């Protein structure tokens, strides 16, 4: 799989353990579209030990505590699925409208405030429960957490390949 194909994958969770003896797996995911991503007959992808992309077809899905429990076609017992523990699972990114973007696409992008002043670079995304946050590495080496809520007006400019936020300099410790 080349880099362009890998960039077209969207991480949707990690297989953290088995559940029971009938081949069910515990998935930890902070994806907002769990019911859509994990529907029966949907394909999910993972990388095998040779870094080759492999496909699984979802047979069933249910929720248990903070986990999604999945079974896959052709895997009926715990021994069949042990090898999947610890694997990250992916789906293929869907085409989005011009105004829409995947949060992961902002990682590594420069961030500018409402006056077009450089703020820093998006280091990572953190799920805060009711909202996500951008973790931004500031130019002085510190990091700051910017919630993706209306107050901060977080926008990703796809054409200019940068993130724009509305933020007061006091919040950045300047």
d(CA 133, CA 124): 9
The vertex-79 CA angle with 73 and 83, nearest 5°, equals 80
Domains of the chain in sequence order: 3-92 (2.40.30.60), 103-167 (2.30.30.240)
What secondary structure, in 3-state letters, does 9-49 show?
EEEEEEEEEEECCCCEEEEECCCCCHHHHCCCCCEEEEECC
d(CA 110, CA 144): 14
> pTM (2 decimals)?
0.64
Q: How confident is the model at residue 17 (pLDDT cuts 50, 70, 90)?
A: very high
Quick check: 160 pLDDT over 90?
no
State the pLDDT at residue 146. Answer: 86
State the pLDDT at residue 147. Answer: 87
d(CA 97, CA 90): 21
State the pLDDT at residue 3. Answer: 57
d(CA 97, CA 94): 10
Phi and psi torsions of 138, nearest 5°: -75, 165
Pairing of strands 155-157, 143-147: unpaired
pLDDT digits (tens, 9 = 90+) for 65-99: 889 999 999 999 999 999 999 999 998 877 766 66
Q: How confident is the model at residue 174 (pLDDT cuts 50, 70, 90)?
A: low
State the pLDDT at residue 86. Answer: 95
State the pLDDT at residue 85. Answer: 96
């Amino acid at each position: 799989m080349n880099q362009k194909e890998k960039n077209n994958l969207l991480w949707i969770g990690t297989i953290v353990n088995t559940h029971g003896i009938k081949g069910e797996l515990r998935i930890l995911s902070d994806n907002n579209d769990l019911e859509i991503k994990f529907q029966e007959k949907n394909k999910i992808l993972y990388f095998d030990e040779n870094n080759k992309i492999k496909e699984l077809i979802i047979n069933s899905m249910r929720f248990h505590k903070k986990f999604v429990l999945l079974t896959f076609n052709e895997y009926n017992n715990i021994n069949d699925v042990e090898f999947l523990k610890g694997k990250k699972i992916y789906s293929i990114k869907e085409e989005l409208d011009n105004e829409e973007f995947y949060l992961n696409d902002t990682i590594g992008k420069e961030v500018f405030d409402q006056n077009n002043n450089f703020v820093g670079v998006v280091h990572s995304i953190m799920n805060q429960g009711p909202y996500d946050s951008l973790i931004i590495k500031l130019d002085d080496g510190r990091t700051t957490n910017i919630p993706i809520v209306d107050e901060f007006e977080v926008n990703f400019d796809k054409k200019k390949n940068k993130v724009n936020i509305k933020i007061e300099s006091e919040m950045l410790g300047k």
